[in-house]
Chain A
Amino acid sequence: DAGVTQSPTHLIKTRGQQVTLRCSPKSGHDTVSWYQQALGQGPQFIFQYYEEEERQRGNFPDRFSGHQFPNYSSELNVNALLLGDSALYLCASSLGGGAGETQYFGPGTRLLVL
């Protein structure tokens, strides 16, 4: 039973560039949530996708966008990268829109913006 997978594991970009991170949910799950975890902080919710639509959004600017595909996998795109975007980006999967369901996290993508 495959767990949540994310790619790439590490990424180095420069300010102003754009980045795309990918996530495949746990087998049988249809909901994907994205979180940003800065060093020394807890994860912060970015947005959640269910049925290929963004259901909820946290307090992040429009530079952060996403997509969910028919196979439930998801992408997180960040445009015009800032130094402050350096963080661990976590994807979490759950079932049925997430209501009351446990979220399982992938190993994350560590992004460094120089």
Chain B
Amino acid sequence: RKEVEQDPGPFNVPEGATVAFNCTYSNSASQSFFWYRQDCRKEPKLLMSVYSSGNEDGRFTAQLNRASQYISLLIRDSKLSDSATYLCVVSRRGDKLIFGTGTRLQVFP
């Protein structure tokens, strides 16, 4: 079983839609949680960190449920430019990053 599991998608949604991605992690010692975005043939870029209290950055909302070992990302009012692969990432004590396989999002006009 992989340490970080994500639905690979693809998720095909129209512009303006709301889409949610989920991720589960297996190691309860995980302490830091992130969503990274990766465009085709580019490097991953940090989208947002995820906190237990939940956090929001514009159209993006991330939630963490430590009891269920579950992380989510909600994107509201999807834009064409949101098309990318979204990587769920965990780490322990801030050391190596452990990535999920990524969820592909395609937003169409």
Contacts and interface: CB of A to CB of B under 8 A. Distances in A.
Q: By CB atoms of chain A within 10 A, which of B45, B87, B95 has the most?
A: B95
Contact of B94 (A43, A92, A99, A104): A99
Interface in A14-47: 33, 35, 40-45
Q: By CB atoms of chain A within 10 A, which of B41, B45, B49, B94 has the most?
A: B94
Contacts of A90: 43-44
Contacts of A102: 46, 49
A44 B99 contact: yes
B1 interface: no
Contact of B97 (A55, A92, A106, A108): A92
A10 to B, nearest CB: 11
A42 B102 contact: yes
Nearest to B31: A100
Interface of B: 4, 32, 41-46, 49, 87, 93-102
A43 B95 contact: no
Nearest to A91: B43
A67 B55 CA distance: 38
Q: By CB atoms of chain A within 10 A, which of B4, B41, B46, B96 has the most?
A: B96
A41 B101 contact: yes
A104 B76 CA distance: 26
B102 A101 contact: no
A44 B87 CA distance: 12
Given A102-B46, A105-B45, A58 B101 contact: no
Contacts of B102: 41-42
B70 to A, nearest CB: 18
Contact of B99 (A43, A98, A110): A43
B96 A42 contact: no
Contacts of A108: 43
A110 B2 CA distance: 25
